[in-house]
Amino acid sequence: MPETPVPSTATSDPLRILITGSAGFVGSHLVERFLNEGHTVIGVDNYISGQVSNTDLFSDHPRFTFIEADVSHGIPYTGEKLDWVMHFASPASPPHYQQFPVETLMVGAQGTQNGLELAHAHGAGFFLASTSEVYGDPHVHPQPETYWGNVNPIGVRSCYDEAKRYAEAITMAYHRSRGVNTRIIRIFNTYGPRMRPDDGRVITNFVHQALRGEPLTVYGDGSQTRSFQYIDDLVEGISRLMMVDYHGPVNLGNPDEFTLLELAELISELCSRKLAIENRALPLDDPRQRKPDISTAKNILGWLPLVDVRSGMNKTAINEKNRIY
């Protein structure tokens, strides 16, 4: 690891950053981080999975501008020179991307190319939010960036998996052939405040079910594993990667691995009451295990996740309780 901390965007001159998917969970936290650091942010979203409430958080900020647009059809930005185009637009939870499979493929394909073209025109950096889903149901554990994955190209999850795999490919093509200054992250399961209540992923389901005193829904026998990263750790990793000259994909995730039954037990413990478990059929192509190898992030960024699941779940549950009630 580096002897001194890798600089983040907080140490740079003020930047002009365009973020697609700015009304989404991760996008809204990036907007907050960059505005707090003194940068100017242009948010773009069409609200297919983002939330108007996330845009409203920053609507009165003097350095925030919002454009409502579908980036698959173009990014209608005509303002001053950009320093970064950050492509975080896409449905990201299985219920949402399976509800909008064509739109998900388009935002990964045309949306990514439109972002790359904008970055190229402005001489800006391009930052792609990819996903651990590119590894599919992995045969290698934990998953390093060198692993090519085990993805069903025509399965129910393929609209998201293949969209992101294509997005990575075209991002590297623009870097190699047109000199665009690119970054790629592969995001592993991330949670925290501002996730949609109907997100459908395990953390959101468990938190909202627990707050309502309902049984926790576990798909399959609950032995499948996931690694859960708190949003602040992800945003820190993103910020550090922006300031490092590295173009290959970088895993950002917490390598602490939990079975879903272990996570359910932790939720019950945090709620100080025993919650029933309701088992349901395992969804098609659901990965049996998922854990990041974060050696690249450690070595290049000096980055490690700092928020353990217990602390992060407490922060998330408190926030969601306030929002529900």
Residue 241: CATH number of its domain:
3.40.50.720
DSSP per-residue string spanning 95-130: HHHHHSHHHHHHHHHHHHHHHHHHHHHHT-EEEEEE
In the three-class reduction of DSSP (H, G, I as helix; E, B as strand; rest coil), residue 277 is classed as: strand
Backbone angles phi, psi at 134, to 5 degrees: -65, -15
Question: Bridge partners of 157?
Answer: none
pLDDT (0 to 100) of residue 5: 62
DSSP per-residue string spanning 33-46: HHHHTT-EEEEEE-
Total domains in the fold of the chain:
1
Domain assignment present for residue 198? The answer is no
Measured distance CA(93)–CA(253) in Å, rounded? 16
Domain assignment present for residue 233? The answer is yes
Domain assignment present for residue 212? The answer is no
Among residues 135, 160, 174, 230, the one annotated as catalytic is 160
* Nearest partner of 211 among 263, 260, 273, 265, judged by Cα: 273
Measured distance CA(261)–CA(259) in Å, rounded? 5
pLDDT (0 to 100) of residue 164: 97
pLDDT (0 to 100) of residue 324: 42
In contact, 55 and 78? CB cutoff 8 Å: no
C-alpha triplet 206, 236, 162: angle, nearest 5°: 65
Domain assignment present for residue 96? The answer is yes
pLDDT (0 to 100) of residue 227: 87
Distances from the Cα of 131 to the Cα of 102, 249, 253, angstroms: 18, 10, 10
In contact, 229 and 126? CB cutoff 8 Å: no
- The identity of residue 45, as a single letter, is D
Residues 6 or more apart from 167 whose CB is under 8 A from it? 87, 108, 109, 112, 128, 130
Domain assignment present for residue 179? The answer is yes
Domain assignment present for residue 128? The answer is yes
pLDDT (0 to 100) of residue 314: 81
pLDDT (0 to 100) of residue 3: 46
What's the domain range around 51?
9-191+229-255+291-306
Distances from the Cα of 125 to the Cα of 77, 105, 137, angstroms: 16, 23, 32
Element (H, E) at 279: strand 277-280
* Nearest partner of 47 among 61, 27, 29, judged by Cα: 27
Domain assignment present for residue 196? The answer is no
> Which residues, given as ranges, of the chain have pLDDT below 50?
1-3, 324-325
Tokens 């992995």 correspond to what residue? 138
Domain assignment present for residue 220? The answer is no
In contact, 182 and 128? CB cutoff 8 Å: yes
pLDDT (0 to 100) of residue 218: 87
Q: Is 160 a catalytic residue?
A: yes
Measured distance CA(306)–CA(303) in Å, rounded? 9
